[in-house]
Amino acid sequence: MEFNYNQRMDIRYGHHELIDVNKIIADCADKWFNQTLTKVNNSVVRIGIVEGEYHWHKHDEDDEFFFVLSGKLFIDLEDKTVELNPNEGMTVSKGVMHKTRAPQKTVMLMVETDTIDPIGKLK
């Protein structure tokens, strides 16, 4: 299956480097963009600049944390939908089918293991 996501899994910043989120946002022209910012022990911190919908998927071995900086993110689970506004976050447990969607341009941080496959296992 083909997806129109710009997902950069390379670690863009090393330790002790300034991470300028405003510049990353200003430079982003994609509707669905993820960039790994830095590695913290066995986890990574990613920025997501998104508008539209991701696909239904799950991660069998990895929890996934979402934290909204601006905009609005909906996380659809099989039994409910959670709405995240700026300065709100939520962790999706491993093995839980989910889909994220943003009705407007939304900037979020994600924290997950450095081995996670963002595409996940499809529904």
Q: In whole angstroms, what is the distance from residue 96 CA to residue 56 CA?
A: 10
- The fold of 6-122 is Jelly Rolls (2.60.120)
With H, G, I as helix, E, B as strand and everything else as coil, classify residue 102. Answer: strand
**pLDDT at residue 109, rounded to an integer:** 98
**pLDDT at residue 117, rounded to an integer:** 77
pLDDT mean for each 10 residues of the chain (123 residues): 79 97 95 95 96 93 96 97 98 96 97 85 68
In the chain, what are the domain boundaries? 6-122
Q: In whole angstroms, what is the distance from residue 46 CA to residue 24 CA?
A: 12
**pLDDT at residue 113, rounded to an integer:** 93
**pLDDT at residue 96, rounded to an integer:** 97
Beta partners for residue 44, in sequence order: 39, 112
Q: In whole angstroms, what is the distance from residue 106 CA to residue 86 CA?
A: 9
